[in-house]
Amino acid sequence: MREKRLNDLRRERGRLAEECVAQELGREGFQLLGRNVFFRTGELDLVAIHPGLKRLRFVEVRYIGAKLGYFPMPASKARRVRLAVECYLQKMGNVQGYEIAIDLATVSDGGVIEWYPLTG
């Protein structure tokens, strides 16, 4: 029973972290295209587009609690994210002329977001 509550708490913190990052993307002029987009190869936490800047952004969100700093994504997870991005781009079709970015966003207590580019 205790483990279920911990899992529920972890899931809720992750959901709140994703919401915090989604709101920040909106303030930056991005439009959310998808949340928790699943493919056989992996999941994309957030997918956003900025039509004016012609920028497509894929964001992996990690809640890190009271910790600060960069927490590297395991190589296996980064590979699954990149494969999911490839699947999304194939499904989306023509993105010629768009800058593609894959980022890690860490969210600490208090909603502090730090951004780390995983690709250019």
Residue range 51-80, pLDDT digits in tens: 889 999 999 999 888 776 666 678 888 899
Q: What is the pTM of this model?
A: 0.86
Is the pLDDT score of 120 beyond 60? no
CATH number, domain with residue 28: 3.40.1350.10
Token pair recorded at residue 20:
């915090």
Question: How many CB atoms within 10 Å of residue 75?
Answer: 8
The CA radius of gyration of the chain, in Å to the nearest whole number, is 15
Residue range 16-44, pLDDT digits in tens: 999 999 999 999 999 999 999 999 999 99
Angle, CA 106 vertex, CA 76 and CA 23 arms, to 5°:
120
Q: For residue 97, what are the domain limits?
A: 2-117
What string of H, E and C letters represents the secondary structure of the chain? CHHHHHHHHHHHHHHHHHHHHHHHHHHCCCEEEEEEEEECCEEEEEEEEECCCCEEEEEEEEEEECCCCCCCCCHHHHHHHHHHHHHHHHHHCCCCCCEEEEEEEEEECCCEEEEEECCC
Number of domains in the chain: 1
